Each structure stands twice: as C-alpha cells, then as structure tokens.
C-alpha cells in the first residue's frame, strides 16, 4: 500500500491518528497542498479529484474517503479496534464520525473556503471551481459555535465519545476542534465538558505525533 497525504490538513490528520493508534506503518508520499501539488498531473493520475488522503492498495485500487480507509484497515488490522466491537457500538461510532464531518468539518470549511484569499475560485474541494460566497462564512461561524454546544452536551459524564474506549468518533471530534482553530474559533468557556474531554484526548501520543 501507499498513502498520499498532507499531514496538517484535517482529513489526513484523522487517518494519521487512526494509523498511530493501531501502530500501522504505510509507505507515504506527501502532497504539498500549499504548493498546489494536488493539481499536478502526476497526482491527478492517482486521484482525479485532487484530494488527500488517497490510499493506493496493493492491487491498484484507490481509496479516497477516510471512512472507507477506516473500514478497510480495521478489517485487515483488527488489533486495537477503533470502529467498535459490536453492531451497536459500530453504528454509534460511525454516526458520530459522520456528524462531526457534516456539522463540524464542513462548518469550518465554509468559513475557511469562503473567506481566505487563497481559496478564491476554490470554495469547494474537487475538480470543479466554485466561487466564494461571503454569507456562507458567516453561517459557518454560527455552525461551529452550535456544534461546540452539541459536543459539550454529549460529553457530559463521558470519558469518550462512545463507550469506554477511544474510537474514530473521538478522532473526528478532536480534529474538528483543532481544525476550528484555523478560523480562530475556540471552545467557549461554558463548554466545560468538551474542554475537559479535549484536554484528556490531547495527551494521547497519537494526537501529539
């Protein structure tokens, strides 16, 4: 297998934490998004969407979505399960992973891609060019604050997002909080449960590497 990635970006970060937790070592090539290497023809032959991460399997099949990579790698590296150990835990973990992506990551992306000059004409990832809409940045900021509140309420009385162990749900929520810092958002003072959880997760070796 070979992984094409850009570690500072949120989706690659999700996968990197997953790999670190499981102790999986994969041949890696960095695609510098700041240098716009994702648009180079050499990479577009790997992933025509021009997004990272992209995981090339031994048979040449290419996975371009983190949740698909999770599922594939969990099956072939079952040690340290991060997708649950029974049908219900897996369903809850994947549900929170999805919600963090739709309500959290996309909210931050709305702000970043519709306000930063570097994303002019690139308001959405992928091969199609979309212009920025400033009103979406305003809405994104509101959505970020709302999702802090959702996570805070959910984490009351909990050590982890789902069950008694660290899972990809925790990875998603942690990376959302980190990604929100890209647009100068921070956990509100009143979100004490989220803050306590975040401080605890921040001590894990997998998120510090």
pLDDT of residue 34: 86
Q: How many Cα atoms within 13 Å fall on the side-chain side of residue 19?
A: 19
pLDDT of residue 39: 86
Q: What is the distance of C-alpha 159 from the center of its chain?
A: 20
What span, in angstroms and rounded, lies between the C-alpha atoms of 56 and 113? 28
**Tokens 């499981």, located at residue:** 22
Average pLDDT along the chain, 209 residues, taken 10 residues at a time: 96 98 97 90 93 96 97 97 97 98 97 92 85 95 98 98 98 98 98 98 95
The residues, any chain, with a CB within 8 Å of residue 63's CB and separated by 6 or more, are 54, 55, 57, 69, 72
Helix (H) / strand (E) element for 26: namely: none
pLDDT of residue 107: 98
What span, in angstroms and rounded, lies between the C-alpha atoms of 114 and 126? 15
Start-to-end CA span in the chain (Å): 21
**What are the chain's domains?**
2-76 (3.40.30.10), 87-208 (1.20.1050.10)
Q: For residues 191 and 149, is the Cβ–Cβ distance under 8 A?
A: yes
DSSP state of 100: I
**Tokens 């989220």, located at residue:** 194
pLDDT of residue 125: 85
pLDDT of residue 129: 87
Contacts of range 146-151, beta carbons closer than 8 Å, 24 or more positions apart: 146/103, 147/103, 147/104, 147/107, 147/176, 148/180, 148/187, 148/188, 148/191, 148/194, 149/188, 149/191, 150/99, 150/103, 151/176, 151/191, 151/194
Q: What is the distance of C-alpha 119 from the center of its chain?
A: 19
Smallest Cα–Cα separation from 177: which of 187, 169, 168, 167? Answer: 187
pTM: 0.94
Instruction: List Cα–Cα distances, 80 to 22, 136, 144, 187, in angstroms.
Output: 6, 39, 31, 29
């Amino acid at each position: 297998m070979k992984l094409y990635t850009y570690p500072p970006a949120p989706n690659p970060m999700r996968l990197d934490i997953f790999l670190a937790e499981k102790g999986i070592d994969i041949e890696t090539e960095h695609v510098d998004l700041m240098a716009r290497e994702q648009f180079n023809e050499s990479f577009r032959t790997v992933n025509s969407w021009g997004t990272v991460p992209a995981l090339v399997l031994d048979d040449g099949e290419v996975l371009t979505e983190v949740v698909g990579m999770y599922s594939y790698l969990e099956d072939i590296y079952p040690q340290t399960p991060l997708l649950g150990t029974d049908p219900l835990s897996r369903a809850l973990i994947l549900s929170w992973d999805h919600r963090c992506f739709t309500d959290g990551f996309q909210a931050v992306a709305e702000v970043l891609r519709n306000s930063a000059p570097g994303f002019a004409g690139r308001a959405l990832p992928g091969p199609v060019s979309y212009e920025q809409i400033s009103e979406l940045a305003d809405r994104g900021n509101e959505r970020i604050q709302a999702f802090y509140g959702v996570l805070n309420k959910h984490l009351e009385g909990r050590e982890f997002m789902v069950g008694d162990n660290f899972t990809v749900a925790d990875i998603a929520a942690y990376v959302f909080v980190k990604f929100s810092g890209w647009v100068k958002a921070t956990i509100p003072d009143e979100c004490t449960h989220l803050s306590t959880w975040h401080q605890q997760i921040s001590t894990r070796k997998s998120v510090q590497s």
